[in-house]
């Protein structure tokens, strides 16, 4: 659960979708093995839907889908690349760029006539809405093997995601050559986009695993509640601060990374199942001490409001907020811990019932950072032995590196990588 001092409920001056730049969920904690259970800002009930007529700019120094507020739905899709050589890989990246550029802008698909297969599935109607759609493309460590001659260009901190002590990883749900984070206000836009990208890249990629997520509305106000019933997403780095993003999220030139990587970011994806049967039997007072917050209003123990910052200097022995509580381990609020903050962008997931008839629900955790070792792994190291971990089961995910942004109409995803600059 990553805390954030920025309320999101109705009546708050920054409670609009565009104003929620500080609530992407984030850095004070990484729930269980994956980080905070964070859910989104106030939104209409899912059944009501949203018009989704807005668009998020595709071109820029950085890819979209990282610092803009998370919308209603998000899917993480890991892919294995089947391109036969480097030229085919370049063709794949050109294709993804062209399709993402068109889909995120919205508009009318070309009409090939009644005697040809339609260029679009038609599931969104004759005119595609922009719907706050973003598609964020990242590469995994396995892409830098011998197939494409990229081994010397691998980002230095990009490895296969290790198994942490609390993990129960399923190999089929881990890693990948590419990851696509597809987010939009409506679920059918996400599904339509994935279908389009897979169709347009047929023969060059193969899906490896998929994790579908959704954001909850806040109840009654303020930060939304996670699947443990606690308010979550109460702290994240300020995405409106270029200085903070440059210090915590974006990889710049130098710093030991290959030159082509400037403008990218390290991405961590974790599927963290919540073991609800055991959690629902835990007494309320114990639940609150495990988290470090009141369940009723989200305030830190001993504080008045959910946005209050706990003062650990006046609670050195953990009499108020236990030393092994989630919020205290995740963000002990020391100078050293400040550098380990991440920018979180997480969703919930519901995978139906498992083979034993138990609900398979949890957190589709994602975070972005400049240095996965200094940030995510440092936070995770503090959480490996937290008492809350017995109610969580991380099952999959991976480490990826987000490609630099597409600067203009002539640019394309991965250009600097394949050019070696």
For the stretch 96-116, pLDDT in tens is 999 999 999 999 999 999 999
Average pLDDT over residues 21-50: 37
Q: Does position 25 have pLDDT exceeding 60, yes or no?
A: no
| C-alpha–C-alpha distance, residues 289 and 301, integer Å | 8
Q: Name the residue among 219, 243, 241 with its Cα closest to residue 231.
A: 219
Task: Say if CB 245 and CB 254 are below 8 A apart.
Answer: no
Task: Say if CB 52 and CB 188 are below 8 A apart.
Answer: no
Average pLDDT over residues 146-172: 96
Average pLDDT over residues 384-403: 96
| C-alpha–C-alpha distance, residues 224 and 7, integer Å | 10
Average pLDDT over residues 28-40: 39
- pLDDT of the residue at 43: 36
Residue 54, SS3? coil
pLDDT: is 242 or 217 the higher one?
A: 242
Q: Does position 198 have pLDDT exceeding 80, yes or no?
A: yes
Contacts of 207 (CB under 8 A, 6+ apart): 77, 78, 79, 80, 198
Q: Does position 212 have pLDDT exceeding 90, yes or no?
A: yes
Terminal Cα-to-Cα distance of the chain (whole angstroms): 38
- pLDDT of the residue at 222: 87
Counting residues of the chain whose pLDDT is more than 70, the rounded percentage is 87
Q: Does position 22 have pLDDT exceeding 50, yes or no?
A: no
Task: Say if CB 265 and CB 251 are below 8 A apart.
Answer: yes
Average pLDDT over residues 373-400: 96
* pLDDT bucket at 19, cuts 50 / 70 / 90: very low
For CA atoms 238, 243, 244, 250, give the dihedral sign. positive
DSSP 139-182: E-GGGGSTTTT-GGGS-TT--PPPPPTT----GGGB--SEEEEE
Q: Name the residue among 102, 108, 101, 96 with its Cα closest to residue 59.
A: 101
pTM of the full structure = 0.87
| C-alpha–C-alpha distance, residues 181 and 96, integer Å | 13
Arithmetic mean of pLDDT over the chain: 88
Q: Does position 18 have pLDDT exceeding 70, yes or no?
A: no
Lowest-pLDDT range, 7-21, 131-145, 327-341, 371-385?
A: 7-21
| C-alpha–C-alpha distance, residues 159 and 272, integer Å | 20
Residue 13: CB atoms within 10 Å = 7
pLDDT: is 69 or 380 the higher one?
A: 380
Task: Say if CB 237 and CB 26 are below 8 A apart.
Answer: yes
Q: Name the residue among 136, 215, 223, 209 with its Cα closest to residue 173.
A: 209
- pLDDT of the residue at 11: 33
Q: Does position 30 have pLDDT exceeding 70, yes or no?
A: no
Average pLDDT over residues 390-416: 97
- pLDDT of the residue at 53: 55
Average pLDDT over residues 27-41: 38
| C-alpha–C-alpha distance, residues 379 and 1, integer Å | 11
Segment 302-313, tens digit of pLDDT: 999 998 999 999
- pLDDT of the residue at 23: 33
Q: Name the residue among 107, 121, 132, 124 with its Cα closest to residue 53.
A: 132
Name the one residue in this structure whose structure tokens are 């008492």: 387
Q: Does position 8 have pLDDT exceeding 50, yes or no?
A: no
Give buried/exposed letters for 233-251 (b at 16+ CB in 10 A, else e).
bbbbbbbeeeeebeebbbb
| C-alpha–C-alpha distance, residues 46 and 131, integer Å | 14
Q: Does position 393 have pLDDT exceeding 80, yes or no?
A: yes
Query: What count of Cα atoms within 13 Å lies in the side-chain half-sphere of residue 295?
Result: 13
| C-alpha–C-alpha distance, residues 180 and 77, integer Å | 5
């Amino acid at each position: 659960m990553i805390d954030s001092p920025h309320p999101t409920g109705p009546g708050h001056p920054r409670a609009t979708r565009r104003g929620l730049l500080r609530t992407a969920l984030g850095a004070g904690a990484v729930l269980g093995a994956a980080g905070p259970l964070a859910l989104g800002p106030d939104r209409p009930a899912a059944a009501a839907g949203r018009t989704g007529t807005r668009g998020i700019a595709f071109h820029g120094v950085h890819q979209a889908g990282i610092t803009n507020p998370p919308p209603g739905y998000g899917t993480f899709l890991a892919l294995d690349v089947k391109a036969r050589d480097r030229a085919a890989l370049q063709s794949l990246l050109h294709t993804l760029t062209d399709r993402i550029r068109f889909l995120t802008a919205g508009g009318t698909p070309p009409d090939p006539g009644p005697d040809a297969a339609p260029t679009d599935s038609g599931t969104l109607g004759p005119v595609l809405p922009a719907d706050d759609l973003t598609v964020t493309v990242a590469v995994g460590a396995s892409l830098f093997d011998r197939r494409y001659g990229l081994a010397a260009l691998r980002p230095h901190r990009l490895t296969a995601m290790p198994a942490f002590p609390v993990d129960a990883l399923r190999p089929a749900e881990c890693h990948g050559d590419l990851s696509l984070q597809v987010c939009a206000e409506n679920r059918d836009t996400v599904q339509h986009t994935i279908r389009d990208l897979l169709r347009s890249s047929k023969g060059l990629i193969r899906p490896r695993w998929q994790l579908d997520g959704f954001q909850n509305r806040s109840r009654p106000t303020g930060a939304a509640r996670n699947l443990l019933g606690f308010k979550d997403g109460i702290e994240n780095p300020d995405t409106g601060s270029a200085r903070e993003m440059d210090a915590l999220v974006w990889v710049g030139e130098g710093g030991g990374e290959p030159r082509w990587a400037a403008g990218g970011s390290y991405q961590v994806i974790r599927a963290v199942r919540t073991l609800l049967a055991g959690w629902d039997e835990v007494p309320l007072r114990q639940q609150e001490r495990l988290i470090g917050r009141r369940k009723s209003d989200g305030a830190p123990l001993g504080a008045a409001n959910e946005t209050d910052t706990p003062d650990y200097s006046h609670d050195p022995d953990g009499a108020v907020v236990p030393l092994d509580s989630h919020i205290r381990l995740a963000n002990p609020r020391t100078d050293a811990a400040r550098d380990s903050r991440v920018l979180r962008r997480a969703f919930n997931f519901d995978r139906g019932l498992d083979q034993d008839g138990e609900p398979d629900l949890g957190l589709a955790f994602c975070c972005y950072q400049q240095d996965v070792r200094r940030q995510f792994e440092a936070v995770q190291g503090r959480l490996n032995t937290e008492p809350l971990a017995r109610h969580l089961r991380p099952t999959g995910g991976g480490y990826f590196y987000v490609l630099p942004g597409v600067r203009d109409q002539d640019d394309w995803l991965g250009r600097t990588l394949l050019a070696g600059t």
